[in-house]
Amino acid sequence: MSLVVIGCNHRSAPLAVLERMTVAADDLPEALSGLAKAENLSEAVVLSTCNRLEVYVLAERFHGGYSDVRDFLARHSGLAPEEVTDELYSLHDAEAVRHLFSVAAGLDSAVVGEHEILGQVRSAWEAARAAGTAGSALNPLFRHALETGKRARTETAIGRGISSVSQAAAALASDCLGGLSGRAVLVVGAGEVAEGTLEALAGAGASDMAVANRTWDRAVALAERCRGRAVALSELEAELVSADLLVTTTGAQEIILEHAAVDAVAARRAGSELLIIDVAVPRDVDPGVRDLPGVTLLDMADLSAFAARGLDGRAREVERVRAIVDGEVRRYGDLTSARRMDPLIAALRGRADQIRDEELARHAARLQSLDPEQRAAVESLARGVVNKLLHEPTVRLKGAAGRARGDRLAEALRDLFDL
C-alpha cells in the first residue's frame, strides 16, 4: 500500500490546462465516488482550488494507482491521457506527506502564506469523509496537515502582509492604477474570495464598490456587509462602462464575460482604461480580451508573479515554516510507525490473555473451593502478572517504532509467540 498524491498546480501546468482539471464543489461527490471504485485505490481526497488540483489516494500499487488517477483526470478534463501525463506531478509516502503539509502551511501557494488554503484543505477532507472515501490512512494524514498549517501561522509571521489571493488582487490593482482612492470598483462573485477582495480593496482606499452575482440576494447581503451596492448580473456590461476596475471571482465552469461584450464596453468608454483582474479558475473572462485596446486583463498567472516579487522580505519566515514542516513530517512518521505497531501489540496481549484464561480454566476444579472474593483475587493476580510482564516489551516496541531496531523487535516477537 502506498500513500500517493497526483496533481498539477500553478507552477506545473499552464492555466488553460489547470482550469480544465478543476473539480467544482458540486461535482466532488461524484468524483470521489468514481475514484473509490477504481481497481487500485482504497481511499481518496480531492483538493481543487484556484491554484491546484490534487488527488490524494491510498493505492494498492503505485503504478496502478497512478494510472487510475490519471485516467480519472483525463475523463474529467476531456484531455487525452498522454496530455494529462505531461502536466502531472506525483509523490508517494513520506514525500506525499511533506507536500501536503507544505500546502497546508501555505508554502506551495501562488501567494505564499495565504490563509485560504487551510480552509480549502479542511473542506476537501470533510467532503471525502462525507463521501466515505477517507479512512484510516487519509483521516490522520489530513488531521495532522491542518495542525501543521495552524502551527505555521501561529508560530511564524508567514501569514502577515499579503497572505491571500484577495489581498494580492487588491495590491496588484492599486499598483497598476496608481492607487484606488476615487476609483470605481466592481467585484463579480459573492463567495469568500469576493468578500476578502472587497475588504482588501476598501482597506487600500476604494470607496465606490459594487457587487454583482448570479444570485441577487447574495449580492445584496455581501454589498451590505462591505458598504457597497449590489448590481444585477444582467447589468454587468452597463456597469463596466464607468468602472475603473473589475475583479472576477466566481466558481462558474464557463466564461461569463465574452470578448464581444468587453469589446462593446471598451467602445463606449471613450478611451478610458479598464483594468480586469480575473482570479477565477476556470477563468471568468475570455483570455482574448487581452488584445483589446484600452483594456488590461490580468489572471492568476500574473497574480502569482506579482506575489512572488514581494516574497523576498519574508524569506526568513519561509525558512521557519519549512523547519516546522520538517519536524511535523518526522513526528507524523513516528506516529504512523507506532500505529503500525498497535496490531502486533494487540496480538501479543491477546495471546497472553488467551494463555491466562486457559490456565484459569485448567485449574477451575481446584478453585471451586474458593469463595467469590477469593476467586476474584486469584483472577486479578493473574491479570496483574500478565500486564507487568508485557508492560516493558510494549514500551520498548512503541519507543523503537519507525527505526530498524523496532523492525527487528517486531519480527522477533512474531517468531517467538507465533503471532
At residue 141, the pLDDT reads 96
At residue 312, the pLDDT reads 63
At residue 247, the pLDDT reads 96
- Hey, what's the torsion of the CAs at 221, 160, 207, 191, to 10 degrees? -20
At residue 345, the pLDDT reads 82
Cα distance between the two ends of the chain: 21
Grid coordinates belonging to 93: 509516502
**How many whole angstroms from its chain centre is CA 31?**
16
Q: Is 8 part of the annotated catalytic residue set?
A: no
> What does the domain layout of the chain look like in residue ranges?
2-155, 165-309, 335-417
Closest CA to 309 of 199, 146, 132, 168: 168
**What is the assigned CATH class of domain 2-155?**
alpha beta
- Cα distance between residue 227 and residue 183, in whole Å: 15
- What secondary structure letter does DSSP report for 340? H
Residues in the chain where the model's pLDDT stays below 70: 310-314, 402-404
Fold exhibited by the domain 165-309 = Rossmann fold (3.40.50)
At residue 360, the pLDDT reads 86
3-state secondary structure at position 336? helix
At residue 402, the pLDDT reads 61
Cβ contacts of 147 within 8 Å, gap of 6 or more: 328
At residue 313, the pLDDT reads 61
At residue 53, the pLDDT reads 95
Q: Which residues pair with 142 in a beta bridge?
A: none
279 touches 249 (CB < 8 A): yes
* Cβ neighbourhood burial of 96 (10 Å; 0-12, 13-18, 19+): buried
At residue 251, the pLDDT reads 87
296 touches 274 (CB < 8 A): yes
3-state secondary structure at position 127? helix
- Cα distance between residue 124 and residue 45, in whole Å: 6
Catalytic residue among 8, 50, 176, 226: 50
Q: What is the pLDDT of residues 183-206, one digit of tens each?
A: 999 999 999 899 999 999 999 999
Q: What is the pLDDT of residues 3-58, one digit of tens each?
A: 999 999 988 888 888 889 999 889 999 999 999 999 999 999 999 998 899 999 99
Closest CA to 198 of 267, 157, 137, 245: 245
- Cα distance between residue 83 and residue 177, in whole Å: 39
What's the pTM value of the predicted model, to 2 decimals? 0.74
Phi, psi of 244 (to 5 degrees): -95, -30
Which contacts (CB < 8 Å, 24+ apart) does range 289-297 have?
289/257, 289/259, 289/262, 292/259, 292/262, 292/263, 292/266, 293/266, 294/266, 294/269, 295/262, 295/266, 296/176
At residue 311, the pLDDT reads 67
Closest CA to 280 of 177, 171, 192: 192
